[in-house]
């Protein structure tokens, strides 16, 4: 969660070298607000960056950084709270084969489900996602993915 998407994008492109774009989209018309635990009328912009290549080969679709900006209504603070995500908080993202199975294990193993599962749709993307916290409160976005992407 970032306050200024363009500033954060420049930082990760120039400092870390994440210059390939996995996704650059206005997510306002999606269910992103539900996944992020914010008001339904929030405007959500997103850029997901990754390295252009690793070892001379195109980089895979993991090891990326997702930058999410909320506007309209503008938010100056997202306090750290158990049911949402705060500015500057990192969210780990993992592809899983069966999100229902994983969510069934979350509480049993000391974690908490914050949101989801929710079906996320863009023109070329369709995924089922949830955001959970591990036993120590680390935020994790679980994304049900095709077998080729799941670990």
pLDDT for 94-129, tens place per residue?
888 889 999 999 989 989 999 889 887 777 777 899
Token reading at 31: 């269910």
- 31 to each of 27, 36, 77, 109, 122, how far by Cα in Å? 8, 9, 21, 27, 10
pTM of the model: 0.67
Whether 110 and 56 have beta carbons less than 8 Å apart is answered as: no
pLDDT for 6-47, tens place per residue?
998 998 898 778 899 998 999 888 878 777 777 788 888 999
The region, left, alpha or beta by phi > 0 then psi within -120 to 50, assigned to residue 124 is alpha
How do beta strands 53-54 and 20-26 pair? unpaired
Domains and CATH numbers, the chain: 1-76 (no CATH), 89-151 (3.10.180.10)
User: Residue 2 and residue 88: Cα distance in Å, rounded?
Assistant: 6
How many other CB atoms sit within 10 Å of the CB of residue 19? 13
């Amino acid at each position: 969660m970032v306050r200024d998407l363009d500033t954060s994008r420049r930082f990760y492109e120039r400092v870390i070298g994440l210059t390939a774009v996995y996704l650059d989209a206005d997510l306002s018309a999606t269910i992103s607000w539900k996944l992020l635990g914010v008001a339904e009328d929030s405007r959500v912009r997103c850029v997901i960056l990754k390295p252009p290549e690793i070892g001379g080969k195109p980089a895979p679709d993991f090891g990326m950084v997702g930058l999410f900006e909320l506007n309209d209504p503008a938010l100056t603070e997202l306090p750290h709270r158990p049911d949402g995500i705060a500015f500057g908080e990192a969210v780990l993202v993992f592809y899983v084969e069966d999100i229902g199975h994983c969510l069934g294990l979350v509480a049993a193993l000391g974690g908490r489900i914050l949101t989801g599962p929710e079906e996320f749709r863009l023109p070329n993307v369709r995924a089922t996602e949830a955001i959970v916290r591990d036993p120590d409160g680390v935020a994790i976005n679980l994304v049900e993915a095709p077998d080729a992407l799941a670990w």
